[in-house]
Structure 1
């Protein structure tokens, strides 16, 4: 049996927070994290500013969004929901969450909120697919 696309999306979403925090630690910003900072990475991240701080916040929000999304995919599949619909909502969720991180890092607050709403709607849609079965 082949793994459905939506399951790959769960894997991508699970590691999306790592990508955002990697940006916060090693990409643009006032300073990059070094080995000494790695003894207390959360304290270091709290002291960052600008895009680095927003990337850290995108990481935290990604952790918050992940459980409901993963549960929605799994529940929709085991409930016998349409695999096509599940795949569409899962892929759209991942794309919107990537856009969410970009909006957050680049300080586009209104767009970020709209994209967040869209990704949340995808999660809700997964549960609706499960309910319809």
Structure 2
């Protein structure tokens, strides 16, 4: 069995982050019946659109996590094609994950300016993957 690299594990984590954010957003409705405000799986987007506070921000973080994922995946793909140094690729992938985790935490905590700074850091790490050798 082949062992995953750190960057491959980071890819797995990055793919799970939107699901984690969605779970946070939907947690308000867990354990409740739909008629009592519980999650409405028949109309999930409408239910999510009615959220407010940190749950609404978790849902927004979910959307942004999906949006950030293709650039990260493409960056890893290009770095792999260029046979970039694995240590550098791993470091950039860890930087992306750290930035995304901080971004999500700051989004949920309603810290917009710091959140935006970490968004730029994550995008920078993804973009750098295109240029490593």
Task: Indicate which of 26, 31, 39 corresponds to 2:42.
Answer: 39
Q: 2:55 aligns with which of 40, 52, 55?
A: 52
Distance in 2 (alpha carbons) for counterparts of 1:10 and 1:84: 15
List alignment gaps of at least 5 residues for structure 2. 35-39
Q: Quote the residue 2:74 is aligned against.
A: 71
Q: Give the Cα–Cα distance (whole angstroms) in 2 for the partners of residues 109 and 57 of structure 1.
A: 12
Across the aligned residues of Structure 1 and Structure 2, the Cα RMSD in angstroms comes to 1.2
1:74-93 to 2 correspondence within 5 Å? 74-93=77-96
Distance in 1 between residues matched to 2:33 and 2:71, nearest whole Å:
34
TM-score (norm 1): 0.90
* Other structure's SS at 2:41 match: helix
Distance 1:84 1:78 in 2: 15
Structure 2 CA distance for aligned equivalents of residues 57 and 35 of structure 1: 24
SS in 1 for 2:83: coil
In the TM superposition, residue 75 of structure 1 has moved relative to its aligned partner by 1.5
SS of 1:38's partner is coil
Aligned residue in 1 for 2:9: 8
Per-residue deviation at 1:71? 1.1
Q: Does 1:61 align with 2:64?
A: yes
Structure 1 alignment gaps of length 5 or more: none
Instruction: Measure, in 2, the Cα distance between the counterparts of 1:95 and 1:57.
Output: 18
TM superposition score normalised by structure 2:
0.90
Of the three residues 107, 127, 132, the one matched with 2:130 is 127
Q: Does 1:95 align with 2:98?
A: yes
